[in-house]
Amino acid sequence: MLKRLLIAMAGTLVVLSGAARAEVDPDYSVVLLTENFPPYNMAINGKNFAQEDNIDGIAVDIIKEMFKRAGVKYSLTLRFPWDRIYNLALEKPGYGVFVAARLPEREELFKWVGPIGPDDWVLLAKGDNPISLTSLDQAKKYRIGAYKGDAISEYLTEKGVEHSTSLRDQENARKLMAGQIDLWATGDPAGRYLAKQEGISGLRTVLRFDSAELYLALNKDIPDEIVSKLQAALDQMRAEGFVDDILNSYL
């Protein structure tokens, strides 16, 4: 009898413990980090540091509305470079970073909310450059520039495609026009948006070689309940057409 009573009490404690873990502090706040990655996230003043309402872009507008609907508190900071904020989100409890490509090698490193939007991967050339490609392998004989620490750069390395990197992706647009590189490996629409900001137009898509979906990547310490609330809010926003409206307003 005593043994059965102890077992029952132990079971009750397990249930109560689980219930306690399921409750999230209403004051819980997520530290959100992002970078200058137009048109998804960007500092209004063009600097490499900004906070809260001094940051805008497709992803910023979507994520602000998502947190508002989910009733989850947050702080928002734009910093530089990407490697730094990515590692902070990876290592520090309560942190998140966006927008991040959800790649197989990153899958188990974070908890994910999304997708926020698409990111096609392309090789761009000057409009008068006659380069013609049907595969990424054919690009290996050309000088290629990419953004340091970006998923596209990691992909090129994985595929054995040698390339130089820049700390700012828009530097590659200038290198392309100056003849320092033959091809610019970048995202679409991000690359064209950045080039336009630099006064560069008429770039030609030589190859569209892959694509990724962009997400909010959350530290694995963040409670599942928070993640679920955010995902539900985003799903509702997409069903209402809110996400498409934001995308179209920038492009």
Which tens digits make up the pLDDT trace of 38-49? 899 999 998 999
One domain, residues 158 and 170: yes
Looking up residue 103, the CATH number of its domain turns out to be 3.40.190.10
Which structural domain, as residue segments, surrounds residue 152? 119-212
The residues, any chain, with a CB within 8 Å of residue 166's CB and separated by 6 or more, are: 145, 146, 147, 148, 172, 175
* pLDDT for position 117: 92
* CA gap 155, 173 in Å, rounded: 20
Amino acid at 154: E
Q: How far is residue 182's CA from residue 120's CA, in Å, rounded to a whole number?
A: 19
pLDDT bucket at 23, cuts 50 / 70 / 90? low
Does 3 fall in a domain?
Answer: no
Q: Decide: helix, strand or coil at residue 35.
A: coil
Identify whether 236 is part of a domain.
yes
216-248 per-position pLDDT tens digit:
999 999 999 999 999 999 999 999 999 999 988
**At residue 45, what is the residue type?**
N
Dump the DSSP string for 11-32: HHHHHHHHHHHH---TT-EEEE
| Residue 194 and residue 130 share a domain | yes
Q: What is the pLDDT of residues 97-109, one digit of tens each?
A: 999 999 899 999 9
- Confidence check: pLDDT of 11 > 90: no
Query: Could you tell me if 137 and 126 lie in one domain?
Result: yes
Mean pLDDT for the chain overall: 90
Report the 3 state secondary structure along 53-74.
HHEECHHHHHHHHHHHHHCCEE
Yes or no: say if 33 and 88 are a contact pair by the CB < 8 Å rule.
yes
**Structural domains of the chain, count:** 2
pLDDT at residue 38 in the model? 87
DSSP 133: -
Q: Which residues of 124-133 are buried (b: 16+ CB within 10 A; e: fewer)?
A: bbbeebebee
How many whole angstroms separate alpha carbon 163 and alpha carbon 142?
A: 9
pLDDT of res. 185: 98
* Mean pLDDT across 171-196: 94
pLDDT band at 156 (very low <50, low <70, confident <90, very high): very high
Within a domain: 159: yes
Confidence of residue 54 (pLDDT cuts 50, 70, 90): very high
Assign 13 a pLDDT band (cuts: 50, 70, 90). very low
State whether 177 and 243 are in the same domain: no
Q: Residue 226: inside a domain, yes or no? A: yes
Q: Which helix (H) or strand (E) holds 42?
A: strand 42-43
**Are both 113 and 229 inside the same structural domain?**
yes
Q: Is the domain of 222 the same as that of 188?
A: no
Q: Hey, what are 175's tokens?
A: 């290198």
For residues 68 and 141, membership in a common domain is answered with no
Q: Is 60 exceeded by the pLDDT of residue 6?
A: no
